[in-house]
Amino acid sequence: MNYEDLINCMRCGMCLPHCPTYKETFHETASPRGRVALVRKIQEGELEVSERLLEFLALCLDCQACATACPCGVNAGELVAEFKCERKTREGLSFMEQLILRRLVPHPDRLERAVIPARLYQRSGLQRVVRRLGLLKMMPRPLERMEGLLPTLPPRSLRQSLQEITPAQGEERGTVGFFLGCVMSLVFAEASFATVRLLTALGYRVVTPRDQVCCGAPQMLAGDSVGLREAAHRNLAVFGRQPLESVVTDCGGCGAELKKYGHHLAGSSSAAAFSAQVRDIAELLAGQSERLRPLLGPLPLTVTYHDPCHIAHCQGIRRQPRELLQLIPGLQLIELPDADTCCGSAGTYNIAQPAMADKVLARKVASIRNTGAEILVTANPGCLLQLKAALATGGRQVQVLHLTEVLALSLDARQTRAA
Ligand code: SF4
Ligand code: SF4
């Protein structure tokens, strides 16, 4: 950890109103300023690491809203994450962490096999029975929460159903790599298929290497720096096999992590070059808006947009998704108040810290419902999972779609009109 980053905090408090956990508690220890002070005192040897102190730090969502607000460039979320990483490197992974982070997550085929029971659970009708009889209450709490978040799974992952090469429609204008993202491929295959459709409609040949692996974000979250670097090396090799104009992803979390490979593998020019090539789908499409506009047909919908933290705060992408939505004829975009405040998903935070996650989510849900929009658009699998589950119950239902799903609906509307 860079000590300079810690001492840069001048304790001005400008980050406080932007921090979701501070807004819920008004406790200094749950604020970015407080977290920076705690980590600094540990580094300076003035504080012992205790269970209570680790609990304070564990409450950070790593949403990085504080980094956007800080005039001194202090990123409290990243400092807390680095502190956890350094600690984990010293202590080593537990047996369970080894099993998940080293033996499961880096192997897409094993991940795909791991979701088969969940798919059978849904398709056999057992899920309906379990929910109707209220049997979820008998499950351990984390399992109950995970089950509640599970949307209907696609019959196959996108990695299994997509060809490695998807040809351009019409005249070919270039070749891009497509980074699948584990959750997007396993759970939101339809949204990622829409991403590929948009790219090919714009004349891109899309290369989706089947041997790509998880971006390393789960390893980073768990403090496994070795696993993270292994993932980065593997993806660099896989995407480096052929010249690509860009490496595109529709997963905000993956995009943010891929763009940090240059930092994680400091000194590697190929890692820096790869990171510079990575584009969130909204960045790439917004750069092609004049070519995209004539392909879009009318959608008479009222939508609002939630900025995923990993897209708005970590990658600075805010304008592009809104511009893309406004390209769609007939679509009305209503600005969501505090659109870039975390929804409480934050990787596995909603499982590990359910009480705080629920408070943060409740604010977001009320804000979305107040807009009166019929569709919430977002662009990150964690937000999709969290908000789909929350907006399907307990009040006016709001449909939740990935940005590329809305754009693909508009492509369909245009094609139907032309037919
Ligand atoms: S982290 Fe930044 S915004 Fe927050 S108190 Fe420190 S200097 Fe001010
Ligand atoms: S990363 Fe988010 S939760 Fe953590 S200190 Fe910053 S604003 Fe607060």
Distance 216 CA to ligand 2 centre (A): 21
Distance 80 CA to ligand 1 centre (A): 14
65 lines ligand 2 (CB under 6 A): yes
> How far is ligand 1, taken at its centre, from the CA of residue 337, in Å?
23
Residue located via tokens 């948009």: 198
| C-beta 340 within 6 A of ligand 2 | no
Pairwise CA distance, residues 240 & 274, whole Å: 8
Q: Which CATH architecture has domain 158-286?
A: 3-Layer(aba) Sandwich (3.40)
Q: Report the C-alpha gap between 177 and 278 in whole angstroms.
A: 9
Q: Which part of the chain is CATH 1.10.1060.10?
A: 3-91
Q: What is the atom index within ligand 2 of the atom nearest the CA of 80?
A: 4
Beta strands in 55-197 (DSSP E): 165-166, 174-179
Class of 3-91 in CATH: mainly alpha
Q: Which ligand is nearest to the CA of 84?
A: 2
What is the distance in A from the centroid of ligand 2 to the CA of 79?
Answer: 10
Domain 295-418, CATH number (from 3.40.50.300, 3.40.50.11810, 3.40.50.10320, 3.40.228.10): 3.40.50.11810
For residue 11, the CA-to-ligand 1 centroid distance in Å is 5
The residue whose C-alpha atom lies closest to atom 7 belonging to ligand 1 is 9
Question: Do residues 331 and 299 touch, judged by C-beta distance below 8 A?
Answer: yes
CB count within 10 Å of CB 82 equals 18
**Closest residue (by CA) to atom 8 of ligand 2?**
19
> Which CA distances in Å does 99 have to 95, 165, 254, 391?
6, 32, 21, 34
* C-alpha 382 to ligand 2 mean position (Å): 17
Range(s) within the chain of domains with CATH label 3.40.50.11810: 295-418
Distance CA 326, CA 37 (A): 43
Within 8 A by CB and 6+ apart from 40, the residues are 6, 7, 9
pLDDT in 10s for each residue of the chain, 419 residues: 677 777 889 999 999 999 999 999 999 999 999 999 999 999 889 998 899 999 999 999 999 999 999 999 999 999 998 888 888 888 888 888 888 888 899 999 999 999 999 999 988 999 888 888 878 777 777 788 888 888 889 999 999 999 999 999 999 999 999 999 999 999 999 999 999 999 999 999 999 999 999 999 998 888 888 899 999 999 999 999 989 999 999 999 999 999 999 999 988 999 999 999 999 999 999 999 999 999 999 999 999 999 999 999 999 999 999 999 999 999 999 999 999 999 999 888 888 899 999 999 999 999 999 999 999 999 999 999 999 999 988 778 899 999 999 999 999 998 887 77
Position in ligand 1 atom list of the atom nearest CA 76:
1
Protein residue whose Cα sits closest to atom 4 of ligand 2: 60
pLDDT (0 to 100) of residue 16: 97
- Beta-strand pair 204-207/165-166: antiparallel
CA dihedral 236, 240, 244, 246 (to 10 degrees): 10
Instruction: Tell me the H-state helices in 244-392.
Output: 252-258, 261-264, 269-277, 281-286, 289-292, 309-312, 319-326, 349-352, 354-371, 381-391
Question: Which residue's CA is minimally distant from atom 8 of ligand 1?
Answer: 12
Cα(71) to centroid of ligand 1, in Å? 7
Interacting residues of 230 by C-beta distance below 8 A, sequence separation 6+: 106, 216
Q: Is the CB of 63 under 6 A from ligand 2?
A: yes
> Nearest CA to 225 among 100, 86, 107?
86
Tell me how far apart the alpha carbons of residues 354 and 89 are, in angstroms, rounded to a whole number.
26
Q: What is the pLDDT of residue 90?
A: 84
Q: Distance, CA 53 to ligand 2 centroid (Å)?
A: 16
* Residue 71 Cα distances to 66, 68, 82, 182, angstroms: 10, 8, 21, 35
Ligand 2 centroid–CA 22 distance in Å is 8
Q: What is the pTM of this model?
A: 0.93
Residue 365 CB less than 6 A away from ligand 2: no
CA atoms of 195 and 282, how far apart (whole Å): 10
Q: Is the CB of 380 under 6 A from ligand 2?
A: no
Counting every residue written for the chain, the total comes to: 419
Q: Give the tokens for residue 243.
A: 């010249």
**CA nearest neighbour of 94 among 217, 221, 224:** 224
Residue nearest to atom 2 of ligand 2 (CA): 63
- Run of H or E residues at 148: helix 141-149
**Cα–Cα distance, 324 to 291 (Å, whole number):** 12
Tell whether the torsion through CA atoms of 210, 171, 284 and 246 is positive or negative. positive
pLDDT reported for residue 1:
67
Ligand 1 neighbours (beta carbon < 6 A): 9-15, 32-33, 36, 66, 69-70, 72, 74, 76
pLDDT of residue 292: 97
